[in-house]
Structure 1
Amino acid sequence: MHFVQPEVRLIGRPSLDYEEVAAYLEEVGGKGWLERLDRTNDAQNLAEIGGRTCYRSWEPGLNPNVTRVRTDQDAYLENILASSHGSVLEHLTFNFIFSNVSRVLTHEQVRHRVGTAISQESLRFVRLDDLPFWFPEWAQQDGELMTRAVRLLLDMESFQLWMADHFGLDDENVPFKEKKHKTSFMRRFAPEGVTTTAVWSANVRTLRHVIESRTAEGAEEEIRIVFGKVGELMKEEAPALFGDYEVTEGGAWVPSWRKV
């Protein structure tokens, strides 16, 4: 076994085809909007496209009911958040790899299933010959706790290795079907705290909710750390959509605009 730290990596983000956007805007008379646009942040631009499509607010006069058009994107997206126009944010999906996170975390993570996708390392196929484990700082400072915990984990790890040898999983010509069957049985003797890797994708509407709820002071400690990292990544990635959060001394991410 070895000690690990939870890690979050942002591996994917929205990407716009500006030629196709331009072709559409040419049809509806909104090409001037695109000419003013800063093309450095596709995610924020996509949110603005979604919102302006709803009201045909590319330019004054395209919709007789719209007499004033915001030209500043930050102000436009702030109004989206303030007016709870959350459906616009569902178009923006970001992709993450969570590594060295426990199954305690992923069991809670899947409860946020609306607007998400998840692919997690399967212990039905991946054999455990090592038990990576995360300990919070307060636990590491408890000598007796750590001694007993490490001893228990080493025993469980040793049992995993014994089972693999006992079942002859590395013998020649063992069918993959049998390996899968036995490996699936072996995972039942792994602790819920053993760490894993998952690819997690979520749209911005969901991200705003999950960051708030899973960094709240009553949330589980590891989950608070992980989604605090997600919040930091998103605030840098899309400041106009996540810049309204304030982080408390306790690490909770509290938005100015809730339930978008």
Structure 2
Amino acid sequence: MKVSLLTYTQEPERTVAAAARLCYSPVGVEEILEKMDEERQKNFIKKLWDLNHLSPFEHVSFTFGIEGVSRALTHQLVRHRIASFSQQSQRYVVEQNFNFLIPPTIANSSQALEIYQQVLRAIKEGYLKLIEMGIPAEDARYLLPNAAETKIVVTMNARELLHFFEVRLCSRAQHEIRTLARKMLEEVRKVAPILFEKAGPLCETRGVCFEGPMSCGRLNLQDEGGS
């Protein structure tokens, strides 16, 4: 899996802090920006966290290039609706030699891996035969599995990213999208460490868990003084 931060709102923390300050200031945004030093930025962003006033985070966005992930992952990813997506098309791109992802549970079992690879080889063979017969790629793709490797460009604002991290860094999130979330968080922390200082699963950021009986129990352990 490869995750690259392609572009982002310049001076994201200054932008968020200035937007928040404007809500409480009689002066204009230009004057606010002139006085917005790093210490004020940091204090304002921390105050926003404490007040759960996160609408100013929506003024900055981050665009990622993501490669080496499965269609199973992107089907989960596009459920985050306050975002923009541009994905490699199986309609227009002929998958002459498509790569595929192997889940760890299958990779760790020689018997399961043999079955998995056998089926994928058959799918690939059938797909290529259909293409050779003149079947359009948009119809031949019906054979392609969730395991097929894909590429996608994703843009989210900072507030939606925080929500994404709360949900997808949870220990109960599916392993591949959890790995993606970790890599995305690593990237944004390089350019906006204060904005994403407290980013993480809900049990860490808000001290709550909505998994009910399916909870990993981590929050209860923390409440009891465990590790």
For the criterion TM > 0.5, the same-fold answer is: yes
Question: Residue 49 of structure 1 aligns with which residue?
Answer: 18
Q: After TM superposition, give the deviation of residue 58 of structure 1 in Å.
A: 6.7
Q: Whose radius of gyration is greater, 1 or 2?
A: 1
Question: Residue 157 of structure 1 aligns with which residue?
Answer: 124
CA distance in 2, matches of 1:158, 1:109: 29
Per-residue CA distance 1:120-147 (angstroms, 9 max, x = gap): 1111111111221122333212101111
Per the alignment, in what secondary structure is the counterpart of residue 46 of structure 1?
helix
Is 1:43–1:238's contact at 8 Å kept on the other side of the alignment? yes
Unaligned runs of 5+ in 1: 1-5, 16-41, 63-69, 170-181, 247-251
CA distance in 1, matches of 2:67, 2:180: 10
Residue number among 60, 64, 82 corresponding to 1:92 in the alignment: 60
Residue number among 205, 210, 213 corresponding to 1:256 in the alignment: 205
Residue number among 72, 84, 90 corresponding to 1:104 in the alignment: 72
Question: Residue 199 of structure 1 aligns with which residue?
Answer: 153
Q: RMSD of the alignment, in Å?
A: 2.6
| 1:96–1:258 CA distance, 2 compared to 1 (3 A) | farther
Q: After TM superposition, give the deviation of residue 220 of structure 1 in Å.
A: 1.0
Q: After TM superposition, give the deviation of residue 57 of structure 1 in Å.
A: 6.9
Is 2:71–2:148's contact at 8 Å kept on the other side of the alignment? yes
Which structure 2 residues correspond to residues 155-194 of structure 1 after superposition, within 5 A?
155-167=122-134, 182-194=136-148
The percentage of aligned residue pairs carrying the same residue is: 25
Per the alignment, in what secondary structure is the counterpart of residue 99 of structure 1?
strand
CA distance in 1, matches of 2:199, 2:153: 25
Question: Residue 2 of structure 2 aligns with which residue?
Answer: 7
CA distance in 2, matches of 1:194, 1:218: 23
Per the alignment, in what secondary structure is the counterpart of residue 3 of structure 2?
strand
Question: Residue 143 of structure 1 aligns with which residue?
Answer: 110
Is 1:245–1:254's contact at 8 Å kept on the other side of the alignment? no
Instruction: State TM-score, norm by structure 2.
Output: 0.81
Is 1:120–1:198's contact at 8 Å kept on the other side of the alignment? yes
Which residue type is aligned with residue 98 of structure 1?
I
The question of 1:125 aligning with 2:92 is answered yes
CA distance in 2, matches of 1:9, 1:81: 27
Question: Residue 179 of structure 2 aligns with which residue?
Answer: 225
Unaligned runs of 5+ in 2: 32-37, 209-227
Question: Residue 221 of structure 2 aligns with which residue?
Answer: none
Per the alignment, in what secondary structure is the counterpart of residue 11 of structure 1?
strand
The question of 1:82 aligning with 2:50 is answered yes
CA distance in 2, matches of 1:253, 1:141: 30
Instruction: State TM-score, norm by structure 1.
Output: 0.71
CA distance in 1, matches of 2:203, 2:189: 13
Q: How many residues align?
A: 202
CA distance in 2, matches of 1:11, 1:139: 33
